[in-house]
Amino acid sequence: MFNDNRAALIAETLQRRIAKLPAGEKLPGVRELSREFQASAATVSAALSELSALGLVRAEPGRGTFVAERAQQTEPDFTWQSQALGPARVDADRASRLGGYGTPDHLPLSWGYLAPELLPNEDLHRIASRAAKHARSWAMTPAVGSAELRRVFAAEYRVDPSDVMIVSGGQQALVFALRTLAEPGDTVITESPSYPGAILAAQSAGLTIASVPADQDGILVERLADELERTRARVIYLQPSYANPTGAVLSPERRVKVLELAERHGAFVLEDDWARYLNIDGKAPGSLISADQHGHVVTVLTLSKSASPGLRLGAIVARGPAGERMRASRTADELCVAPMMQEIAHDLLTSSVWPKHQKRLRLELAERRDALVSALRSFAPSLRIQSVPKGGIHLWVRMPQGSSTSATVAAAYAEGILVGDGRHFFVDEPPAPFLRFSFGAATPAQISRGVSQLARIIEGQAGRLARDSSEDRVDFHGNTARQ
């Protein structure tokens, strides 16, 4: 899952090296570079292809790769664009960290997708081969999606198939739904902490974001009521089941109150049901939309998390005029989702493969979740687990007060460990230092090794902080002096 990023890193290193070499200098061969960077020949070749596309090297078949002649070019001047574009909507720092990419050698203790061995890859290969033979896989479907696939999702949520629209993944569903349900400048309320991708989607739609704290039972409804009164917001973004990053499930009592508040204020609840098929302990909670009578809930879902990150397919479930508006404006974004993708998704969801995959996935995720909890309690007791999730793939952990999450994440990355910086899950300043862990991408052995190594990093940081503090002394008048 990191190969493209790995090739880019190798290309960046070689680019710096090439800048010091004369034109015509021959570069080491692919095998030698593979040994140097401990990467596959395919990854090194991809890096060289990138350099060739930039005009930095030239490949001569049978002879090798050489440093290209450097053309004398005027540096481009892009300063005019900032004035023409105006203020940026999307937080570039948050966007760059969404997904937390690393190299193939990094231990993925924070990652938004499942490990390859947990996916039904062989079954998908077989299903895709069969689907490719269908004539309908190569024909246009309606913009809202194939009728057969819409019926499958409609049965899941107990709605009419006409209320379902197929889209290219959950992230596109969020962007499209927010842009349709609200106008630029409007306010959307989100639980806090929340999924960074939803924050980016709201920013992309030009919306103002207001946050309401949440605990292990979901959003605090009393605070939500106050925020609705204050902002007059008409959209509330929630993850009622296995929220990212906390794993929280909105309690039955709060579900009722959220729907009551939506009715009272004439607001929409955008239900992000991304973890519908990632339940571990027991059945997944019922969806909010299934308890909604009057069209206040719009639900988005995705198959990319539970089936395959390459299966970029999701759906929006919306009723009434809101659904009609979305369906009417669908062709402005996309004429249709790739029919092949829809055919594969339909065949997967309606085959015996799907329930077997879900059963195996529950067992595997339970083992990895328990391994992560055990490792944190054994190796890093200073990290406080907020709650053990009953589904999803994420675990939310609080660090000791005064800890620097950015320093911890940077130090961990340098040591080959990916862990999520809790700052990126808050709209505003975080109330305390948090880290996000994930248990869907690493094996139990990798989890144990990664947490053990991370614990040593945190202990080292705490030791340095303690030494720095001990060097400060406070005199009788309360003035701090450096010894």
Is residue 359 in some structural domain?
yes
Is residue 266 in some structural domain?
yes
Indicate whether 127 and 141 sit together in one domain. yes
Indicate whether 328 and 460 sit together in one domain. no
Q: What is the H or E stretch that residue 280 is in?
A: none
For residue 204, pLDDT over 80 is answered with yes
Report the SS3 class of residue 159: coil
Looking at this protein, which amino acid is placed at residue 451?
Answer: V
Q: Across residues 466-473, what is the average pLDDT?
A: 57
Q: What is the pLDDT, as a whole number, of residue 358?
A: 96
Is residue 94 in some structural domain?
no
What distance separates the 2 farthest-apart alpha carbons in the chain?
Answer: 86
Whether the pTM exceeds 0.85: the reply is no
Percentage of the residues of the chain whose pLDDT score is greater than 70: 90
Indicate whether 345 and 362 sit together in one domain. no
Could you give the CA distance from residue 318 to residue 157 in angstroms, rounded to a whole number?
11
Q: What is the H or E stretch that residue 417 is in?
A: strand 417-418
For residue 469, pLDDT over 90 is answered with no
Number of helices (H), then strands (E), belonging to the chain: the values are 17, 18
Report the SS3 class of residue 251: coil
What CATH number is given to the structural domain containing 34? 1.10.10.10
Identify the domain boundary among 316, 350, 384: 350
Q: Across residues 446-462, what is the average pLDDT?
A: 91
For residue 101, pLDDT over 70 is answered with no
Q: What is the pLDDT, as a whole number, of residue 38?
A: 87
Looking at this protein, which amino acid is placed at residue 6?
Answer: R
Q: What is the pLDDT, as a whole number, of residue 279?
A: 96
Is residue 78 in some structural domain?
no
Hey, how many other C-beta atoms are within 10 angstroms of the C-beta on 259? 18
**Residue 93 — pLDDT band, cuts 50, 70, 90?**
low
Is residue 85 in some structural domain?
no
What CATH number is given to the structural domain containing 412? 3.90.1150.10
What CATH number is given to the structural domain containing 177? 3.40.640.10
Q: What is the pLDDT of residues 412-432, one digit of tens each?
A: 999 999 999 999 999 989 999
For residue 96, pLDDT over 80 is answered with no
For residue 57, pLDDT over 70 is answered with yes
CA proximity to 126, closest of 351, 306, 278, 302? 351
Is residue 16 in some structural domain?
yes
Could you give the CA distance from residue 1 to residue 329 in angstroms, rounded to a whole number?
34
Indicate whether 240 and 387 sit together in one domain. no
Phi, psi (5° rounding) for residue 315?
-150, 155
Q: What is the pLDDT, as a whole number, of residue 24?
A: 87
Q: What is the pLDDT of residues 310-360, one digit of tens each?
A: 999 999 999 999 999 988 888 777 788 889 999 999 999 999 999 999 999
**Residue 467 — pLDDT band, cuts 50, 70, 90?**
low
Lowest average pLDDT, out of 4-8, 62-66, 318-322, 357-361, goes to: 4-8
Indicate whether 141 and 38 sit together in one domain. no
Order of strands across the sheet that contains 314-317:
164-167, 314-317, 297-302, 268-272, 235-238, 187-192, 208-215, 218-219
Mean model confidence pLDDT for the chain: 89
Could you give the CA distance from residue 207 to residue 152 in angstroms, rounded to a whole number?
33
Q: What is the pLDDT, as a whole number, of residue 482?
A: 38
Is residue 43 in some structural domain?
yes
Lowest average pLDDT, out of 96-105, 133-142, 198-207, goes to: 96-105
Indicate whether 342 and 231 sit together in one domain. yes
Sequence-distant (6+) residues with CB within 8 A of 215 are 248
Structure tokens at 431: 């109330």
Indicate whether 435 and 328 sit together in one domain. no
Q: What is the pLDDT of residues 217-231, one digit of tens each?
A: 999 999 999 999 999
CA proximity to 101, closest of 13, 9, 10, 193? 9
Q: What is the pLDDT, as a whole number, of residue 334?
A: 77
Structural contact between residues 23 and 67, judged by C-beta atoms closer than 8 angstroms: yes
Number of domains forming the structure of the chain: 3
Pairing of strands 164-167, 314-317: antiparallel
Domain of residue 227 covers 119-350
Could you give the CA distance from residue 112 to residue 175 in angstroms, rounded to a whole number?
18
Indicate whether 105 and 126 sit together in one domain. no
Identify the domain boundary among 325, 350, 375: 350
Structure tokens at 196: 């960074």
Q: What is the pLDDT of residues 225-253, one digit of tens each?
A: 999 999 999 999 999 999 999 999 999 99
Q: What is the pLDDT of residues 140-190, one digit of tens each?
A: 888 899 999 999 999 999 999 999 999 998 999 999 999 999 999 999 999
List the alpha helices (DSSP H) in 54-100: 79-85, 92-97
Indicate whether 329 and 377 sit together in one domain. no
Phi, psi (5° rounding) for residue 347?
-65, -35
Indicate whether 345 and 366 sit together in one domain. no
Q: What is the pLDDT, as a whole number, of residue 471?
A: 55
Q: Across residues 89-117, what is the average pLDDT?
A: 76
Identify the domain boundary among 305, 330, 350: 350
Indicate whether 338 and 412 sit together in one domain. no
Q: What is the pLDDT, as a whole number, of residue 1?
A: 44
Is residue 77 in some structural domain?
no
Q: Across residues 430-437, what is the average pLDDT?
A: 96
Indicate whether 285 and 145 sit together in one domain. yes
Could you give the CA distance from residue 2 to residue 146 in angstroms, rounded to a whole number?
33
